[in-house]
């Protein structure tokens, strides 16, 4: 149980275009979803926290107009990287928790974004 | 705000040898503690967690960790490693009442050599 999927697993896009990454909880309802960014050989940096039906809470330094997060349902959150640039190339990982009383996040397999 | 320090960025070890990956944290409130493993180009897999109770926690793949409140540590151990344990290991904490938000350490790359 508690499986989180991400799509796509890898994406290459041209500079200036936008790309959408989906995060789905497959067998549970995710009250909260988290989006992380991971640079090569680095740790995970929390970008934002999203709750279903409300606006995402972004961490300091993360541009909310560039990284659009939508948590439209209890099983789906999307991250859209708008007007992507090469410096946005990274590994993006989402996670989800099951709500009140849950102390654990379940992680997706990650999405490798390369902007050329 | 909490912080997590993994003192070793890389730990080389020979196959079948024991290993300890160190993790220290700082927080002004009680915390939950986690160890995750990440294989190349994959997401994170939970190895074990400490929520309450016994300070010695056993996880998957033969790993265990011990919570030491006085030393604010949560070191990960395995008595005998395998080549397949080569991966990146992350220690993470969340503060009680903080909505499951995790703070990660910098990671330790475990390199198991034959």
pLDDT at residue A42, as a whole number: 84
pLDDT at residue A88, as a whole number: 96
Q: Which of B34, B51, B106 sits opposite A43 (nearest CB)?
A: B106
Query: Nearest CA of chain A to the CA of B76: how many Å?
Result: 17
pLDDT at residue B29, as a whole number: 87
Cα separation of B109 and B86, whole Å? 8
Whether A103 and B94 lie within 8 Å, measured CB to CB? yes
Q: What are phi and psi for residue A32, nearest 5 degrees?
A: -130, 135
Q: Which residues contact B3 (CB under 8 A, 6 or more apart)?
A: B25, B26, B27, B103
Residue position matching structure tokens 């160890």: B35
Q: Could you report the average pLDDT of every consecutive run of 10 residues in chain B (114 residues)?
A: 90 97 93 93 90 93 95 97 96 83 93 96
Choose the weakest-confidence range: A49-63, A97-111, B12-26, B84-98.
A97-111
Give yes or no for residue A108 having a pLDDT over 90: yes
How far does CA A85 lie from the centroid of its chain? 17
Cα separation of B51 and A90, whole Å? 32
| Torsion over CA: A45, A24, A91, B8 (sign) | positive
Residue A29 C-beta-side C-alpha neighbours within 13 Å: 8
Give yes or no for residue A52 having a pLDDT over 90: no
Identify the band that residue A1 occupies on the pLDDT scale cut at 50, 70 and 90: low
pLDDT at residue B43, as a whole number: 87
Contact B50, B70 (CB under 8 A): no
Cα separation of B84 and B82, whole Å? 5
pLDDT at residue A100, as a whole number: 64
**What Å distances lie between residue A40 and A11, A72, A108, A113, CA to CA?**
16, 30, 18, 12
Whether B101 and A46 lie within 8 Å, measured CB to CB? yes
**What Å distances lie between residue B103 and A65, A75, A103, A111, B29, CA to CA?**
24, 24, 13, 20, 14
**A32 contact B CB<8A:** yes
pLDDT at residue A43, as a whole number: 87
Cα separation of B63 and B50, whole Å? 13
Which residue out of A102, A103, A110, A111 would a mutagenesis test of the B interface target, given it has the greatest number of B Cβ atoms within 10 Å?
A: A103
Contact B13, B112 (CB under 8 A): yes
Comparing C-alpha atoms, which of A89, A36, A14 is closest to residue B92? A36
pLDDT at residue A5, as a whole number: 95
Cα separation of A42 and B108, whole Å? 10
């Amino acid at each position: 149980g508690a499986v989180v999927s991400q799509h796509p697993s890898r994406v290459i896009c041209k500079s200036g275009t936008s790309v959408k990454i989906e995060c789905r909880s497959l067998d549970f309802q995710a009250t909260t979803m988290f989006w992380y960014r991971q640079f090569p050989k680095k740790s995970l940096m929390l970008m934002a926290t999203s709750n279903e039906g409300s606006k995402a809470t972004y961490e300091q330094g993360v541009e909310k107009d560039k990284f659009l997060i939508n948590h439209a349902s209890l099983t789906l959150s999307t991250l859209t990287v708008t007007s992507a640039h090469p410096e946005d190339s990274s590994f993006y990982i989402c996670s989800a928790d099951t709500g009140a009383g849950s102390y654990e996040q379940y992680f997706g397999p990650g999405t490798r974004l390369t902007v050329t | 705000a909490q912080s997590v320090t993994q003192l070793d960025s890389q730990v080389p070890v020979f196959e079948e040898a024991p290993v300890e990956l160190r993790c220290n944290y700082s927080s002004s409130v009680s915390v939950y503690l986690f160890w995750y493993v990440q294989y190349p180009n994959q997401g994170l897999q939970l190895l074990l967690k400490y929520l309450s109770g016994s300070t010695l926690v056993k996880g998957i793949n033969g790993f265990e960790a011990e919570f030491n409140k006085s030393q604010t540590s949560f070191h990960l151990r395995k008595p005998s490693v395998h080549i397949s344990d080569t991966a990146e290991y992350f220690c993470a904490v969340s503060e009680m009442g903080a909505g499951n938000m995790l703070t990660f350490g910098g990671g330790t790359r475990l390199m198991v050599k034959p």
